[in-house]
A and B are shown apart, each in its own frame.
Chain A
Amino acid sequence: MALNRKIAYIDLSTGEVETAPIPVMMRKLYLGGRGLDIYLLYNHLEPGVDPLGPENVLLVSAGLLAGTLASASARSHLAAKSPLTGFVGSTNMGGFFAPELRWAGFDHLVIKGKAESPVYLWVHDGEIEIEEASHLWGEDTFETQDLIRQEWGDPEVKVVCIGLAGERLVRFANVRTGLKNSGGRTGIGAVMGSKNLKAVAVRGTMDIEIEYPEEALKYNKEIIDKICSTKFAQIMQRWGTMFIYGATNSTGLIRCRNFQLNQLVGGNIECEHIDEYSIGTEGCFGCSIHCRHKYIIKDGPYAGVYAQGPEYTSQGAFGMEVGCNNFETILAGNYLVNKYGLDTLETGSMIAWAMELYEKGILTDKDTEGLKLEWGNDEAVLEMVERIAKRKGLGDILAEGPLRAIERIGEESRPYCIQVKGMSNLHSDERPTPSLALGIATASRGSDHLRSRPAIDLYHLPEALLKKIYGYPTPYDGPLSSDYTTYEGKPRQVQWHEMCYEAVDCLGICKFHTIFLSPNLLGFDEFSKLIYYNTGLEISPQEVWEIADRAYTLERLFNIREGLGREDDWLVDRYFDEPTPLGLEIARNKVLDREKFKQMIDEYYALHGWDEKGVPRPETLKRLGLDKEPSHML
């Protein structure tokens, strides 16, 4: 059956490789992907180790339904202790790697130790070999993939790799597959670099058995039709995630010039501009939304470059956050971060922060070696990307990520650094939206919009619909409000989306297929059916929730073991003290209320069964079967 995939333990220090089956019992507890990864991380990692030392453990996995009939079943997940935050490192990406890993016979790779010299893993039809990679060291993420394919004479080989940034241990280096797909957050690329692991290459021709093929086909068609009939999907098919900017910038919910403005007035970087550069769109495995553009840059130093993307995040990173109002800068920035293997979000945030410090005189021309880090200086922004990737000058300091860079630059720089748990925030302004603010404050991997963001809160949905969504699959009869500026019921929304996104990260389905940006997409009922038709496992919607709850609580336990406390679930002062200066009336002159925010956190902890310090209560651990962790079952 579809579950018949193995786990492999690979020790790069000794060169030993062991494989083992994954018991069905573990599937029932954690499904796969992110869920099983956190179990493995919690069980195989010693607390307190240096994330960039050989003791860190790297997990590479495919979601339980990757490669099956679950629509966009393309997602892989990577985990380790994060070199950026020191807490759970976790990143998820699409493309074609995850299905290929499963066709090669594996679901989870547990990678330990450190190779003496650069290597890559070659995973193919049940076999795993450690291959020499010195010739690949220094190559960018596009070349690396191509060279490995050439080595095996097979264009179908799928590769996850790091670029220069990962090799140089930039703490927000990402992992990359294909031209665009990136596991961006929490610096997993640096973990690979620290292990001298340049890439993981996979190729497989083994069957993934589908338990009920006829029904699975029929059901897949049904959900694809459902997905594609939504307005959201039709807009995504045309313009990708950049469409979000239309609404958020219009309202005043974006961040501009680090955190000084919440709108780019007269902005010229709307998604519609991609039409001038696009030669078509591409989809990840099995996906009918195909949200990424294939584009060719027309002018400037990168004229003629072919790349894919960009996403909403790059619009922020190389657009409004750095005060640039030039679509080509976004296209070029997106290309550069992908080439070097940098998290676009963190890169843009670090540059925007440095620009504000430059404006305030905290950084000077001496620090920047004469580079004018002024808002809207497109060349300077792109030059800083190079310097970060290559760790040159100021780039070397910024490459250390928010908290270490603050230490190097000085305490006076701290208030301007917009981060949570040492990870930078998405370039959205959450001051007018308490639900979104709570999400980034509490997210297990540091400030993040993909852990729990209740984005549909912005849609002003009727309360009856909110009750229907948030009252299932576990009961909730507390308040809910259509007004996104209120604090009412928002903790439940955050918790609900946390569970929803955790579930799909375990399954390997794209979040954009779920109730994330449209209320009419997949939820727990659909997850349950997809699991059943594809694997034969009978897991009710309530049980899917419980699995997500278990995995998320284990992430919490991991973080607590690494020293996390309630004070880490908090936002920087600017959210509470500086009112938003721009936007529509609903978003203008807004700050978050400290007291109400504290209450939301209390409520959020209570919903999870955590105490007022954010520590899971003994009865919660018992209910979720976590009271005996680490249990070393795998």
Chain B
Amino acid sequence: MQKILIVDHERCTGCRLCELVCSVKNAGVSNPSRARIHIIKWEMEGFELPMVCPQCEPAPCMAVCPVDALSRDGDLERVVIDYDLCIGCKLCVAACPFGGMGIDTVAKKVIKCELCDGDPTCVDFCQPQALQYVPAGTVNLRKKREAGLKFSELMRRFAGV
């Protein structure tokens, strides 16, 4: 079944290990500015949110690419970049509503999460499981189950059920 990368921000501890392993995996170096994923933090409020390309469908980046360098890979349901076609115009960067399309200033090219070809390194390293790579069909029930667990916990504690 098709899998998707889901973000559970409540579990995120803001350690940025995902940024580190992403940049090592994809660029061979430690440099979060070249990573495809970023933890956006509101430090004074204690809120952190992992931001990564959600592989939109239809994808604005694909829609604006003047040379069709972006395409959908049906197997992994992801948007991939063909660097042979890409002319580096960065229209996709401007069009992306999430910042999922970025610029690697060292390699001088646009970059995005391509799900490490089906085995996302960030997910592998995320110990608190703020990042998960799961079959798309299970997402809804997963969330319901988690919410249910919290609910039952509260019921037990406060209502003595």
Q: Please list the residues of chain A having a beta carbon within 8 angstroms of any beta carbon in chain B.
A: 2, 67-69, 96, 99, 103, 142, 145-146, 155, 178-179, 205-210, 213, 216-217, 220-221, 224, 228, 279-288, 290, 294, 306, 308
Contact = CB atoms under 8 A, between A and B. Distances in A.
A69 B46 contact: no
B29 A207 contact: yes
Interface stretch (B71-79, B120-128, B134-142): B120-128
Contacts of B15: 282-288, 290
A216 B30 CA distance: 11
A290 B30 contact: no
B32 interface: yes
A213 B25 contact: yes
Interface stretch (B37-45, B50-58, B62-70, B86-94): B37-45
B43 A178 contact: yes
A217 B127 contact: no
B132 interface: no
Nearest to A146: B44
Contacts of B106: 207
Contacts of B45: 306
B28 interface: yes
A213 B28 contact: yes
Interface in B108-128: 121, 124-125, 127-128
B22 to A, nearest CB: 11
B17 A210 contact: no
Given A220-B21, A283-B15, 6 more contacts: A146-B44, A205-B105, A216-B24, A283-B14, A285-B17, A288-B128
Interface of B: 10, 13-17, 20-21, 24-25, 27-34, 41, 43-46, 48, 105-106, 121, 124-125, 127-128
A146 B41 CA distance: 13
7 shortest A-B CB distances, which residue pairs? Answer: A283-B15, A290-B13, A288-B127, A207-B29, A205-B33, A294-B46, A208-B30
A142 B44 contact: yes
Contacts of A287: 15, 17
B75 to A, nearest CB: 24
A294 B12 CA distance: 12
Contacts of B14: 282-283
A308 B32 CA distance: 25
A207 B105 CA distance: 11
A280 B14 CA distance: 11
A217 B21 CA distance: 7
Contact of B24 (A69, A103, A179): A69
Main SS class of interface, B = mixed
A285 B124 contact: no
A551 to B, nearest CB: 25
A146 B45 CA distance: 12
A286 B32 CA distance: 12
B111 to A, nearest CB: 14
A602 to B, nearest CB: 44
Contacts of A146: 44
Contact of A279 (B25, B46, B128): B46
A286 B16 contact: yes
Contacts of B13: 280-283, 290
A208 B31 contact: yes
24 contacts: A2-B30, A67-B30, A103-B31, A103-B33, A179-B43, A205-B33, A206-B31, A207-B31, A208-B30, A209-B29, A210-B29, A217-B21, A217-B24, A217-B25, A221-B125, A224-B127, A280-B46, A281-B13, A282-B13, A282-B14, A283-B15, A283-B17, A286-B15, A306-B44
A294 B44 CA distance: 10
A438 to B, nearest CB: 35
Contacts of B128: 288, 290
B79 to A, nearest CB: 24
A556 to B, nearest CB: 34
Contacts of B20: 67, 69, 285-286
A521 to B, nearest CB: 15
Contact of A208 (B17, B25, B29, B44): B29
A424 to B, nearest CB: 30
Contacts of B121: 217
A215 B21 CA distance: 12
B108 to A, nearest CB: 13
A155 B41 contact: yes
A281 B15 CA distance: 10
A283 B125 CA distance: 14
B47 to A, nearest CB: 9
A111 B140 CA distance: 56
B102 to A, nearest CB: 12
B31 A205 contact: yes
B124 A221 contact: yes
Given A205-B31, A287-B17, A290-B15, A228 B46 contact: no
A69 B44 contact: no
A460 B29 CA distance: 43
Most A CB contacts (10 A, CB to CB) among B17, B25, B45 go to B17
A344 B13 CA distance: 24
A147 to B, nearest CB: 12
Nearest to B31: A207
Contacts of B43: 145, 155, 178-179
Contact of A210 (B24, B32, B48, B124): B24
Contacts of A280: 10, 13, 46
A279 B105 CA distance: 37
Contact of A179 (B17, B34, B44, B124): B44
A479 to B, nearest CB: 39
Contacts of A308: 46
A179 B43 CA distance: 8
B17 A286 contact: yes
Contacts of B127: 224, 228, 288
A207 B124 contact: no
A209 B25 CA distance: 12
B24 A213 contact: yes
Contacts of B16: 96, 285-286
Nearest to B25: A217
Nearest to B15: A283
A199 to B, nearest CB: 15
B106 to A, nearest CB: 6
Contacts of B32: 103
